[in-house]
Amino acid sequence: MRPPLSWSYTQPLAAENDTHMSEFLLLGLSQEPEVQPLIYVIFLSMYLTTVLGNLLIILAASSDPRLHTPMYFFLCNLSLVDICLTSTIVPKMLQNIQLQTKTISYEGCITQIFLFILFGSLDDFHLTVMAYDRFVAICHPLHYTVIMNPHFCGMLVLGCWVLGLLNSSMEISMTLRLSFCPEVEIPHFFCELNQLIKLACSDTFLNNLVMYCAVLLVGVGPLLGITYSYSKIISSIRDVASAQGRYKAFSTCASHLAVVSLFYVTSMGVYLSSAVSERAYPSAVASVLYTVVTPMLNPFIYSLRNQDIKRALKSFFVQGTAKRSIVLH
């Protein structure tokens, strides 16, 4: 017996409508209306601080010829990635709070996931490259300028971008095959891949497999590289005879080690909180740490104990003030 014609056409049409939804709902960090203004002020302040702080790092390293070294070249790229990572998430969140809406379009959600995975991967890769730079500087100081030449540094940054694009493209291509039921509510303040996969109506086995493999390759792989680099660095520092020499060698790594610890502790806290708790709220709160707080703190970590950055910033502002005085006169 042949099925009715209406059945053979309506089922693919319904699946197509479910897959390509028009919009999702972002529930945010709190459902209480009286808390929204406070959240808006806090996140706006953190976002402006992040952008301003990382821009100052880029301007300081670019304007001072003494900072045209591989370490500060990678630091500038890390600051740029941090600005892009925060700008992927926070402006949309602030817009929704200001307009008193929770919606995000399907295309906007997919784009946000793609950019978030891209810049999150780049953060991870840049921290690994910076650890390798410190390894070469301390363990092979006589060959540092030969190994870390401008061409090689540029290739390292290009490799980070290629790997990041491949990772985010693979994750998004798997996400596009999912279908979603109407009125999908994402219990988060941005489109997070793990939360979106949990809300899909179709089979998500391949998506979870790809996602966990990506976490192992992009997260655990660079962490092992950083650990290996610092194990060699510590061994080299222990062989230094004078205490002053050991302190000077370790001080060049202290800021990077602090940023690495902050990044991995906060990001691991997100996945542990989502694994331990069935509720999405603890995971959303923990996500604030590595998506907003960590990029905001990185410029402070690198500038507080770094005399080169302080000197470059002071020179930059003094030159700017002198130029404005000349124009006014």
Mind listing the pLDDT tens digit for each residue in 226-266?
999 999 998 888 877 677 777 777 777 888 888 888 888 87
70-99 and 36-63 helices cross at what angle (nearest 10)?
A: 160
Residue 9, pLDDT above cutoff 50: no
Split at pLDDT 50, 70, 90, the class of 302 is confident
Which neighbouring-strand residues pair with 105?
23
pLDDT tens, position by position, 38-74: 999 999 999 999 999 999 999 988 888 888 899 999 9
* Single pTM value for the model: 0.86
The more confident residue out of 173 and 269 is 173
Residue 306, pLDDT above cutoff 80: no
From CA 238, how far away is CA 160, in angstroms rounded? 31
Residue 108, pLDDT above cutoff 50: yes
If you average pLDDT over every residue of the chain, what do you get? 83
Other C-beta atoms within 10 Å of 3: how many?
A: 8
Domain locations in the chain as residue ranges: 22-328
From CA 187, how far away is CA 260, in angstroms rounded? 28
243-276 and 221-238 helices cross at what angle (nearest 10)?
A: 160
Could you please report the per-residue DSSP string of 150-209?
HHHHHHHHHHHHHHHHHHHHHHHHHHTT--B-SS-EESSSS--HHHHHHTBSS--HHHHH
Pairing state between β 23-26 and 185-186: parallel
Q: Which fold does the domain 22-328 belong to in CATH?
A: Rhopdopsin 7-helix transmembrane proteins (1.20.1070)
Residue 164, pLDDT above cutoff 90: yes
**Of the candidates 211, 182, 206, 218, the residue with the CA atom closest to the CA atom of residue 195:** 211
Which neighbouring-strand residues pair with 103?
25
Pinpoint the alpha helices (H) of 215-293.
Answer: 221-238, 243-276, 281-288
Which range, 73-87, 168-182, 204-218, has the best average confidence (pLDDT)?
A: 73-87
- Give the pLDDT confidence score for residue 13 in this predicted structure: 37
**Of the candidates 26, 18, 14, the residue with the CA atom closest to the CA atom of residue 95:** 26
